[in-house]
Amino acid sequence: MGVNHELYKVFYWAAKTGSLSQAAKALFLTQPSVSHAIKQLEQSFGVALFTRTSQGVELTQEGSVLYSYIEQSHILIALAEEKMAALKNLESGDLRIGGSDSLFKHYLLPHLEQFHEQHPGVKLHLNHGTTPEVITFLKEGRIDLGVVRMPIVEPQLEVKESFQLQDCFVAGARYAELKDRTLSLPELLQHSIILFSRNSRARMAITELFHHYGYTIKPEIEVGSVDLLIEFARRGLGISYVTREFVSKELEEGSLFEVRLDVPIPPSHVGIMTMRNMPLSRAASAFIELIR
């Protein structure tokens, strides 16, 4: 019918208070304005909504039916306003993040803990995957942001660098004879190499590095997690390619040592990935500010 919703607001307060003057007071209007609004609404429906009494106004039968619906909508609007205020103040809501298992465990975990302490009402949803998988999660709207290794060349995405990581080869006590040596790439390839099996940026980076020097790196063992890369190396099953920051404890305690090469391994850059030109939720914006 195209009725002005402001008329419903006037109707609601007149019915709730039983007084046109009280409705005018609640809405900061004049009483004639309230009377005019009620008349407009009655004309729109073609029925009387109120009858006048010595105490004020009372709803007609038709007015009571309308009020039962308008009251529900008023309650829902009030709840919506409360919900929006809670979202604005990070008292509720959801934060959906994508990233690799290793980045969650070794980098994001303390930040997630801090965010949860500051905003306990915000629910955390973590989606694990390789960089290509996280890109898909973001494009499909399943996450608000991704924390991934760079470079990312996707026109739909915006990626801002957050920090650097340094990858390296590590081995356990069974390879102790290599501890004080610097190996060439051919010498390294004489040993059993353990790589991450999935299509990760780290796996792609080390493959490209060996290709750059004219070699092909073929792992004897492929595993599906960084924890297994670390454990297999520690048990002497081969030399693993891992992120140095993720094995700092093992390197410090001596259960692993870094296998030095005669060529440098470039550092990798980790970035925060979001959809370009898409507004972020308050929770996502707050988390990005926290980890920068």
Q: Is the pLDDT of residue 75 over 60?
A: yes
For the domain covering 167-266, report its CATH number.
3.40.190.10
Residue range 29-67, pLDDT digits in tens: 999 999 999 999 999 999 999 999 988 999 999 999 999
Fold of domain 5-88:
Arc Repressor Mutant, subunit A (1.10.10)
Indicate the pLDDT class of residue 3, thresholds 50, 70 and 90: low
Let me know if the fold of 98-161+277-291 is the same as that of 167-266: yes
Write down the mean pLDDT value for the chain: 91
Indicate the pLDDT class of residue 102, thresholds 50, 70 and 90: confident
Query: What residue segments make up the domains of the chain, in order of their start?
Result: 5-88, 98-161+277-291, 167-266
Decide: pTM greater than 0.85: no
Fold of domain 98-161+277-291:
D-Maltodextrin-Binding Protein; domain 2 (3.40.190)
Question: Mapped to the 3 state alphabet, what secondary structure does the chain carry?
Answer: CCCCHHHHHHHHHHHHHCCHHHHHHHHCCCHHHHHHHHHHHHHHHCCCCEEECCCCEEECHHHHHHHHHHHHHHHHHHHHHHHHHHHHCCCCCEEEEEECHHHHHHHHHHHHHHHHHHCCCCEEEEEECCHHHHHHHHHCCCCCEEEEECCCCCCCEEEEEEEEECEEEEECHHHHHHCCCEECHHHHHCCCEEEECCCCHHHHHHHHHHHHCCCCCCCCEEECCHHHHHHHHHCCCCEEEEEHHHHHHHHHHCCCEEEEECCCCCCEEEEEEEECCCCCCHHHHHHHHHHC
Position 63 scores a pLDDT of 93
Query: What percentage of residues in the chain have a pLDDT greater than 70?
Result: 99
